[in-house]
Amino acid sequence: MKGFDENILKDLQTSPEYEFRVRQFNIHDNPEVDKCFCLQEAPNLEALRKNHEN
């Protein structure tokens, strides 16, 4: 994704739980389509959605 390099993605992958208790497991960057795909754990779907609003 534009503005993200490999080091930033690695830091995000190992970051602590976010405000809504969402935890990152892995991030896959696909520069050909300028998208990231995240594998995350959350207590419920609402927490996951709120985490992505910011």
pLDDT for 43 equals: 94
pLDDT tops 60 at residue 1? no
Q: How does strand 35-41 pair with strand 23-30? A: antiparallel
Distance separating the N- and C-terminal Cα atoms of the chain? 16
pLDDT for 34 equals: 83
Domain ranges, ordered by start, for the chain? 6-53
If we measure between CA atoms, which residue out of 48, 50, 53, 49 comes closest to residue 22?
Answer: 48
The pLDDT tens digits of the residues spanning 2-53 come to: 666 777 767 666 666 667 888 887 877 788 888 888 888 899 999 988 887 7
> What count of Cα atoms within 13 Å lies in the side-chain half-sphere of residue 43?
7
pLDDT for 27 equals: 79
pLDDT for 15 equals: 64
pLDDT for 46 equals: 94
